[in-house]
Amino acid sequence: MDLVNHLEGRLLFAVPKKGRLLQAALNLLEGADIQFRRENRLDIALVKNLPIALIFLPAADIPTFVGEGRVSLGITGRDTVAEHEAGVIALRKEQAESGKSTPQEDEGGCVEVMDLGFGSCKLQVQVPEKGQYGKPSDLIGKNIGTSFVHLAEEYFAALEAEAEAEAANGTKSKKLKTKIIELSGSVEAACALGVADGIVDLVESGETMKAAGLKPIDTVVSSTAVLIKSKNPTNVDTVELVAARIRGVITAQKHVLCQYNVERTKLAAATKITPGKRAPTVNALEGDGAWVAVSSMVEKKKIATVMDELTEVGAQDILVLEIANTR
């Protein structure tokens, strides 16, 4: 089937085609009951139960497609959105300076719909552990290796402006003194191989940088995966439906359902610990007027403490249940 000719009327939704965000993004689509079958080697998949076509793209390219309005919705890292936006700002500035065209502030761009809670990492400035550079300003005028050229340029332009203002010499140079060298991967190798004095790269556990003999000296962007939409999306109702479904899955992932029995006299103390989303559900226990059963949504990360506190106030038969979905 020629899928490209079946896109008419469908919401185009970009999903990372590989890499660290792929599996979590697919899990989210499954949780939101977005059903599709991706043919081998095809980067387009028609959704069976909704008017959506999934477009599988490199995470770093998704903000370009969404920002230009070619695709209405996307899942990618906030770092890639920031890089795209820094690129757009740099281009507008360049065009304005050369008088080529008028900068259009309101045109295009990505709107963050929600944080998806996975893929957390930091874009950091890293230097050799045993080297001569201790703070970011030491790197002014040096060589910086990165895949995030626009964010690195923006970062060092701000550092240079700050340094010039401090020196109060009034010579605000237009040209960046620091040399930004674009690398597409294995950026951590650049210092040891003499290509760069410092790097701007992603860090999660810190293991890669430690193994490469590097240490962080600043954070440029803190990132997680995000759902983004274009400024003027097509199929607005479907965009809202998908966002609501994904929000439900994420809320469910972050919470558990806590059920317990407690004496009515201790109910106020217990429900103070588990106030729930709106309010806890309280039911009488069959044949025992003195006891009630309580059920309440609790944040997953707090559940151990909540169970300790409930036990302390006299709650019994505490059960913790996974929530598959919620609205």
Ligand X SMILES: O=P(O)(O)OC[C@H]1O[C@H](OP(=O)(O)OP(=O)(O)O)[C@H](O)[C@@H]1O
Ligand Y SMILES: Nc1ncnc2c1ncn2[C@@H]1O[C@H](COP(=O)(O)OP(=O)(O)OP(=O)(O)O)[C@@H](O)[C@H]1O
Which residues of this protein are in contact with ligand Y, per CB under 6 A?
A: 18-21, 58-59, 77, 79-80, 119, 121, 185, 202, 204, 223
Our CB check for ligand X shows the closer of 18 and 70 to be: 18
79 binding partner (options ligand X, ligand Y, none; Cβ < 5 to 8 Å by kind): ligand Y
223 binding partner (options ligand X, ligand Y, none; Cβ < 5 to 8 Å by kind): ligand Y
In angstroms, rounded to a whole number, what is the distance separating the alpha carbons of residues 72 and 88? 18
Q: Closest-CB residue for ligand Y?
A: 77
Amino acid at 44: I
207 binding partner (options ligand Y, ligand X, none; Cβ < 5 to 8 Å by kind): ligand X
77 binding partner (options ligand Y, ligand X, none; Cβ < 5 to 8 Å by kind): ligand Y
In angstroms, rounded to a whole number, what is the distance separating the alpha carbons of residues 89 and 86? 5
In angstroms, rounded to a whole number, what is the distance separating the alpha carbons of residues 153 and 163? 15
Our CB check for ligand Y shows the closer of 78 and 255 to be: 78
Q: Cα separations (Å) of 168 from 4, 163, 164, 187, 316?
A: 58, 9, 6, 35, 69
Give residues in contact with ligand X (CB under 6 A): 185-188, 201-208
First-to-last C-alpha distance (Å) of the chain: 36
In angstroms, rounded to a whole number, what is the distance separating the alpha carbons of residues 144 and 132? 15
Nearest to 123 by CA among 225, 220, 224: 220
Our CB check for ligand X shows the closer of 97 and 182 to be: 182
201 binding partner (options ligand X, ligand Y, none; Cβ < 5 to 8 Å by kind): ligand X
Residue 313 per-residue DSSP state: T
In angstroms, rounded to a whole number, what is the distance separating the alpha carbons of residues 4 and 21? 25
Helix residue spans in the chain (DSSP H)? 22-31, 62-67, 78-98, 149-167, 207-211, 236-254, 267-273, 303-312
Our CB check for ligand X shows the closer of 47 and 183 to be: 183
Our CB check for ligand X shows the closer of 99 and 185 to be: 185
188 binding partner (options ligand X, ligand Y, none; Cβ < 5 to 8 Å by kind): ligand X
In angstroms, rounded to a whole number, what is the distance separating the alpha carbons of residues 209 and 206? 6
Our CB check for ligand X shows the closer of 88 and 123 to be: 123
| Beta-strand pair 73-77/11-16 | parallel
